[in-house]
Amino acid sequence: MDWICTPGEYPVKVKVVESSRLLDEGTYLVKVSPPETPENIYLKLEYEMESKNTSDIYGIYGYIINKEAGFAENVSTNLTVTNERTGKIVFTSSELYDVGEYDKTPLWTWPDYPYAVIEIARGKPLRESYMPVKNIVIGGSEDCFKVNVTARWKDRLASTELLIPPREENR
């Protein structure tokens, strides 16, 4: 399995050792840039928001788009949800998809259901199961989540992200 890192800055501890003797050590910030978007495989993310009681529920919908002739089989996708307030990854999931030529394939496990659900609770969470959706994150009113999806097929890589709640809706 390939390890895919979410774009951003990360502290990396480095030790320089020669013949089992520590010469130097330190922590350095390493910037991971978003991957370049290939010419023919694209990702799209969008959301729908519904308010229920004291929570806002965001249904995340995504698509892999193949803009070339030829069937893209076993496109590996990785979903990463990061809490922007804490910087911690709170959820990851990987799936394989097949995309027809000049076609778009929804990222979902069950037709007509969201790819992921994020509940922002301004009190107690609703305690809903959201089944059959399996990519679920529940946070509080102070939280903002970065949803990142990366797709890899052969030598092509595509990535996209979405903030939930969007910046203009942050409280």
78: CATH = 2.60.40.10
Residue 142 Ramachandran class (φ > 0 left, ψ -120 to 50 alpha, else beta):
alpha
pLDDT of residue 68: 82
Rounded Cα–Cα distance for residues 45 and 141 (Å) = 22
Q: Does 104 reside within a domain?
A: yes
Q: Does 25 reside within a domain?
A: no
Q: Does 113 reside within a domain?
A: yes
pLDDT of residue 62: 94
Residue closest to 58 by CA, chosen among 118, 5, 111: 118
pLDDT tens series, the chain, 171 aa? 345 566 778 888 988 888 889 889 999 888 877 654 445 888 999 999 999 999 999 999 999 999 888 888 899 999 999 999 999 999 999 999 999 888 999 998 778 889 999 999 998 988 888 888 889 999 999 999 999 999 998 888 899 999 999 976 544
Q: Does 18 reside within a domain?
A: no
Q: Does 78 reside within a domain?
A: yes
Residue 112 Ramachandran class (φ > 0 left, ψ -120 to 50 alpha, else beta):
left
Q: Does 112 reside within a domain?
A: yes
Tally the domains of the chain: 1
Q: Which domain holds residue 165?
A: 35-169
